[in-house]
Amino acid sequence: MPEYPIILGVYSLAMQTDLGVGDTAGKHQSLTYWYARQLDAERFEVQPLNVHHVPSGVKKELPVKDFLTQYVPEPRYYKLHTVPALETLAKKLEQGEQAFSLGNLDEAERQFVKALMIDDLNVTATYGVGKVASEKKDYVKLKKVLGTLLHLDEAFSREYREQFNSFGITLRKNKNYDEALAFYGRALELSANDDHVHFNMARAYYEKNTVDACIKHLNLALSIRPDFVEARKFLDYVMKHMGSATA
């Protein structure tokens, strides 16, 4: 059995449009290029390539028939343009993450910005710039990054769960509690039954001394996953702490 999704490469889509009227009427054919993946036996996914030849923008799902009848493989284009561009992009992201892990924030930001110059909608690079802004306490830039992420549904998908969690932890660690709560709230809009998001919201509320909301989200996390050990321990701690605080 194949492991999905399968990267198929670059495909072209020919579009024909009518130009002019009467004697000047004619047809014009344009060619656009798309990055294609097979999601399962019945579904395909295409994403447009930007001017730098990397997939960027809104993804579109297609049934088998539509994909096979409308899209034409472009292996030469993929090899000559998209593969090198993707390798450069991946290198910038890797260098950014490495610099961030070493505490070299200026270099990390530089690499993430270079990645965004290749793909201005790149989720990982956007998260990277946000983490740097949070660490630097650059609230103007952080607010801008949050505005971008909150409008990118893809940023909260399972594919980006590691970056999502890392960014949320960075926000909370740097006492950006309101920003963290807005971030987690957007995630719950897209996936209301994510026990880890409820747990992380509880931690942010606790740091804000908003205990009732903390308990609410811990109970929601446990209702979704009753064997969530960390959530159970945290709830027990909060309840015990409340008891001693009111004694």
Q: What is the pLDDT of residues 76-86, one digit of tens each?
A: 999 999 999 99
Confidence at residue 169, expressed as pLDDT on a 0 to 100 scale:
86
Cα(203)–Cα(224) distance, rounded to whole angstroms? 17
pTM of the model: 0.80
Residue 247 confidence (pLDDT)? 38
Q: What is the DSSP string of 155-186?
A: GGSGGGHHHHHHHHHHHHHTT-HHHHHHHHHH
pLDDT digits (tens, 9 = 90+) for 185-215: 998 988 889 999 999 999 999 999 999 999 9
Q: Are 210 and 180 in contact (CB under 8 A)?
A: no
Backbone dihedral angles phi then psi of residue 40, each to the nearest 5 degrees: -160, -170
Q: Provide mean pLDDT across the span 7-19.
A: 86
Residue pair 237/229 in contact by the 8 Å Cβ criterion: no
